[in-house]
Amino acid sequence: PKTIKSLSKEVSSSTNHVQHVKGWIKSVRLLKNIAFIDLQDGTCTDALKVCIPIENSKETEYVRRLKTGQSVSITNAQCKMTPEREQSFELKISEPLKSISIIGNVTLDYPLQKKAHSLSFLRTQPTLKHRSSYLSSLMRFRSHLELSLFNFFQEHDFTKVSPPVLTSSDCEGAGELFKVQSSSRDNDSYFGKPTYLTVSTQLHLEIMAMALSRCYTLTPCFRAERSDTNRHLSEFWMLESEISFVDSVLELTRFVEEMLKNSIKSCYEQKNELLPIITPDNSLTREEILKRWESLLHKAWATISYTEAIGILKKQHAMVPFPNYEPKWGESLQTEHEKWLAGEHFESPVFVTDYPRDCKAFYMKANSEELPGNETVACFDLLVPEMGEIVGGSMREDNYDSLSREMARRKMNSSGELTWYLKLRSEGTIPHGGFGLGLERLASYLFGSHNIKDAIPFHRSASGSIE
């Protein structure tokens, strides 16, 4: 059988082939002398219209057995061009009893209907939600996004690597780790060693970059955070990259901007295949998504320092106070600050660089020549409207003594679990940096969907169920 996608590509060149397709019935409409099936197979946005002329009561009865959700095989179908319709072709069969066979049936309580369902309903249907037009579009979009990012790395001499998910270290030092336990009774930890699911693969990527120069990965990361918001998951996919021999944050932000614009361009070129047909409440429409992509491509993204950002935020706070947090130098930017900066102030993505040292993780390279109490690190966050942070990155502290001092200041490595990482600084150390991008946040922002829970096939969060 052919996929519906391949059929739609083929049909523009030749028509009169006898076709064979398989898929799931999205809807059936039975009229007096004719019936229509909308058939979907998830390979493309459109459902395929199959026209069935009905000539006798036996055929009527047969078509009555067809139900939304059933899987069917359709043979001996003729392609018919319909240039006047939204979909430029449909299939026509002449003998329903011979041409349509049911592969798998559905029970009477099959919950999906022809109408568009709300996302909150679909989230309760883990086995079926991806058959909805919107969520299947989102999955295809995410897949395209991944490939476009991989292509960019490939073109820039990066090697894709596969760092471990099990680790003994807390890369971000935020204490948001899930601990791994054996389910057997006599051994309640991972072979007796404290072991966790990774929060970020960065530390291992740094090892790889010391050999391969440039590497990247797309890996699940896990964070035991309580915040159950529309931008937090406890299991999410992070695209992480380490680049050797870079000297400044500016080199990193330029790379990230180029990488993301390359992906957005690639989505734009495939817009007919990637954009959803119908979009639920709370999500951007097709036209709004396109506008978002265009505006992202046409603007140069701003870069400001954290200190400048605090200045701008303070000014705004004096006029219209932020509802929950007053911006203060030395404290992390809150989501409301991030969204306002990118959304209202810049109306564009913005790189914020050089945060105070104590707002950030231990591995970031310190900016020199700063007074005690005002120390910052060579880092950046990329903030986008409506979502806030989607990328975080930095230059890494590559000096053995400086890193060792910082780890001691933070009372880290007391049991030597990070000695291997420190040691890397005495094995031909080099200036290097990297970043991590939350794939669901990016996919969600570009697709205009409101909640990142829909940008991952099965979301894991504090309140969600685990099937």
Write out the binding residues for ligand 4AD, residues 161-180 only, by CB under 6 A: 171-172
Residue whose CB is less far from Mg ion, 73 or 303: 303
State which of positions 406-425 bind ligand 4AD (CB under 6 A). none
Using CB atoms within 10 A of its CB, is residue 169 exposed (0-12), middle (13-18) or buried (19+)?
buried
Give buried/exposed letters for 88-110 (b at 16+ CB in 10 A, else e): ebbbbbeebeebbeeeeebeeee
Question: Contacting ligand 4AD (CB under 6 A), which of 129, 140, 204, 232?
Answer: 232
Give the interface segment with Mg ion, choosing from 244-252, 275-283, 307-315, 384-392 (CB under 5 A).
Answer: 384-392
**Which residue is associated with the tokens 């349509």?**
100
Q: Which residues between 116 and 155 bind ligand 4AD (CB under 6 A)?
A: none
Of 270, 309, 326, 300, the residue nearest 447 (C-alpha): 270
The residue (of 89 and 362) whose beta carbon lies closer to ligand 4AD is 362
**Both tokens assigned to 404:** 């060792």
Question: C-beta of 438: minimal distance to Mg ion in Å?
Answer: 9
> Least distance to Mg ion from the beta carbon of 298, Å?
27
The number of CA neighbours under 13 Å toward the Cβ of 384 is 21
Given the rule CB under 5 A, which of 38-46, 264-272, 387-395, 457-465 is the region that contacts Mg ion? 387-395
> Cβ of residue 392: shortest distance to Mg ion, in angstroms?
3
Q: What is the footprint of Mg ion within residues 171-210 (CB under 5 A)?
A: none
3 state DSSP class of 103: strand
CA angle, corner 167, sides to 166 and 171, nearest 5? 125
User: Diameter of the chain by CA atoms?
Assistant: 90
Which of ligand 4AD, Mg ion, none has residue 436 at its interface (CB below 5 to 8 Å by kind)?
Answer: ligand 4AD
Q: How far is the CB of 255 from ligand 4AD (least distance, A)?
A: 13
Closest approach of Cβ 204 to ligand 4AD, in Å?
A: 10
Nearest-approach distance from CB 198 to Mg ion, in angstroms: 15
- Kindly state the smallest distance separating residue 305's Cβ from ligand 4AD, in Å: 18
Cα gap 366→372, rounded to integer Å: 12
Q: Residue 77 or 378: which CB sits closer to ligand 4AD?
A: 378
Work out how close the CB of 389 gets to Mg ion at its nearest, in angstroms, rounded to a whole number: 6
**Contact in structure between 337 and 325 (CB atoms under 8 Å):** yes
Which residue has tokens 């080099």?
430
Judged by CB under 6 A, the residue of 275, 304, 390, 455 near ligand 4AD is 390
Q: What DSSP assignment string belongs to 30-88?
A: E-SSEEEEEEE-SSSSSPEEEEEE--SHHHHHHHHT--TT-EEEEEEEEEEE-TTSSSS
Find the binder of ligand 4AD among 134, 153, 236, 445 (CB under 6 A). Answer: 236
Indicate which of Mg ion, ligand 4AD, none lies near residue 172 (CB less than 5 to 8 Å, by partner kind).
ligand 4AD
State the binding string over 209-228 for ligand 4AD (x if CB under 6 A, else -). --------------x-x---
Q: Which stretch binds ligand 4AD (CB under 6 A): 119-127, 161-169, 335-343, 429-437?
A: 429-437
Q: Distance of alpha carbon 139 from its chain centroid, rounded?
A: 9
Under the binding rule (CB under 5 A), the answer on residue 392 touching Mg ion is yes
Query: HSE on the CB side for 303, CA within 13 Å?
Result: 13
| 196 interacts with, out of Mg ion, ligand 4AD, none, CB within 5 to 8 A per kind | none
Strands 71-81, 34-40: parallel, antiparallel or unpaired by DSSP?
unpaired
Cβ burial, residue 464 (10 Å; 0-12/13-18/19+): middle
389 binds ligand 4AD (CB under 6 A): yes
Is residue 443 within 8 A of residue 455, CB to CB? The reply is yes
Binding mask 435-454 for ligand 4AD (x = CB under 6 A): xxxx-xx-------------
Nearer to ligand 4AD, 293 or 445 (CB): 445
Shortest Cβ distance from residue 238 to Mg ion (Å)? 11
Orientation angle between helical segments 133-155 and 439-447, nearest 10 degrees: 120
Shortest Å, Cβ 93 to ligand 4AD: 47
In whole angstroms, what is the distance from residue 381 CA to residue 352 CA?
5
- Asked if residues 379 and 393 have their Cβ atoms less than 8 Å apart, the reply is yes
Nearer to ligand 4AD, 346 or 355 (CB): 355
The CA distance from 443 to 452, in Å, is 8
Please report the DSSP string for 114-146 in residue order. Answer: SSPPPHHHHTT-TTTGGGSHHHHHHHHHHHHHH
Q: How far is the CB of 279 from ligand 4AD (least distance, A)?
A: 22
Q: Which positions lie near Mg ion, rule CB under 5 A?
A: 392
Residues that bind ligand 4AD (CB under 6 A): 171-172, 200, 202, 223, 225, 232-233, 236, 238, 240, 389-393, 434-438, 440-441
